[in-house]
Amino acid sequence: PASALRPALRPALAPPAALLPRRFRSSGASASPLRTASAPAMSAESPAPVKIVASRGITYPLGFTAFGMAAGLKPSGKSDLALILSEKEETTAAGVFTTSALSAPPVGYCRDVLKKGGNIRAVLANAGQANAATGRKGLEDVGTSVAALGQALGFPVGEDVMVASTGVIGRRIKMAEMLAALPKLVAGLGDGEESDKAAATAIMTTDLAMKSIAMETDIGGKVVRVGAMGKGSGMIHPDMATMLAFLTCDAAVPKDIWQGILSRAADRSFNQITVDGDTSTNDALIGLANGAGTVSVPSAGSPEAAAVEDLVTQCCQYIARCVARDGEGATVLIEVRVSSAPDDAAARRVAKTVCGSALFKAAMFGRDPNWGRIAAAAGRAGVEFEQEKLGIRLGEFELMKDGQPVEFDAKAASEYLGNAAKGAYLTDEDTVVVEVDLGAGEGKGVAWGCDLSYDYVKINAEYTT
């Protein structure tokens, strides 16, 4: 089977601070699992210092519980069903979803629920079957799942839940197994490290590592917390926003402000990653804010809103980097930083185009410092710049300056790529950094991806067989 071609599942370790970009880390590392982080590169200075709680995840914010279990949806018998619940009846929900015309029934259902504007405080996610391209029957399965879960939770009629699915396209959810598991899933709800891990593990498919994180910040003596988890390894080229991400926050945030925060965070994180250029039918980023903490956001321009948005963005960027590094068959994480673009949106477009270039990705796997592939990708990104001002760096090696090739040690540059492939998993050591200076303005942007290896083809050639 294709799964046999992948390396063994890596243990679910507490995410090291080194996984975070340098902008996320303080100059002095603490022995405590709580680490201080600085501002994200794509925004102004953070309104307040951010602490990273590396060992926690989706239930770290107050008033949230979660659980994950094996319901028999996956042929492997592994965990495949997760539930996230806000214990506060008044909870604000927001979502950012795939733009694919073949969006799955769960995506369409969630869009409709959000438009209704009702109270939403639970998210059910399954792995094993994507329930995409399943037509009317697939939508009926969603409705049945929602009704059964609402009954199991004791929700009043009219209170909605969100749903998400990941797995093989064209396959409906195994409804008998799912419905039978719901009472046990609800009974298992809890908070703490084990609950975080159980939920995050249950949404994995071809992922090699669990993706989970929590962060907090202090706003005028009041603490706000955000927890996040995600999954994704192949079919990763989100435009939303198969990739799923879930986020919880214990601040009280009005619906329109919360939706804006989540959308902008997606643009600076999940929409800036690519593994293979294929946008999933099921891409979804769902966020719940329940007000169980002491922070309330009074308006869009308030310091509280800025602090919450910064926290949400950093969590999303962390999970996005995890997804990019865990790309199917990947041996390195690639970070492309673009500067001096006409604006930030243009910089992000160039960065993602470079990250998504199959030729560039293949060169990174072959440890070939072929800067021509970087320049060519930047040139076709649809952003105007003067090639006489283009600059390119690979790690510490300057490859192009003012549009002219620069003599560099090709062997040493190749060794830089090779050493990254040998580096500790999800650290700076296994990250290849590419810098592109367009000389066309003040815009900055970053994107993340991975190399293209032989294993990617092997895995996807036998995905269902």
Determine the distance from the C-alpha atom of residue 112 to the mean position of all C-alpha atoms in its chain, rounded to a whole number: 23
Q: Determine which one of 242, 248, 281, 313 is catalytic.
A: 242
The H or E element containing residue 333 is strand 333-341
Half-sphere exposure of 376 (CA within 13 A, CB side): 10
303 contacts: CB under 8 Å, gap ≥ 6: 47, 219, 220
Q: Which of 224, 438, 235 is nearest to 328 (CA)?
A: 235
Cα(418)–Cα(125) distance, integer angstroms: 38
**Which of 87, 105, 285 shows the shortest CA–CA distance to 186?**
87
Please give the span between the terminal C-alpha atoms of the chain, in angstroms, as a whole number.
6
Reduce the DSSP state of residue 121 to 3 states and report it: strand
With H, G, I as helix, E, B as strand and everything else as coil, classify residue 330: coil
- Separation of CA 428 from chain center: 18
The token pair that represents 418 in the structure block: 């090779």
Q: Residue 236 in contact with residue 333, Cβ under 8 Å? A: no
Is the separation of the CB atoms in 230 and 243 below 8 Å?
Answer: yes
Q: What is the DSSP letter of 117?
A: T
Q: Is 242 a catalytic residue?
A: yes
285/271 Cα distance (integer angstroms)? 11
Q: How far apart are CA 363 and CA 453, in angstroms?
A: 10
The dihedral over CA atoms of 457, 458, 461, 465, expressed in degrees to the nearest 10, equals -160
Give the CA dihedral 436, 440, 441, 447, nearest 10 degrees. -30
Name the amino acid, one letter, at 386.
Answer: E
Alpha-carbon span 99 to 241, nearest angstrom: 7
9 and 233 Cβ atoms separated by less than 8 Å:
no
State the alpha helices, DSSP H only, in 44-134: 105-116
Q: Which residues form the catalytic set? A: 242
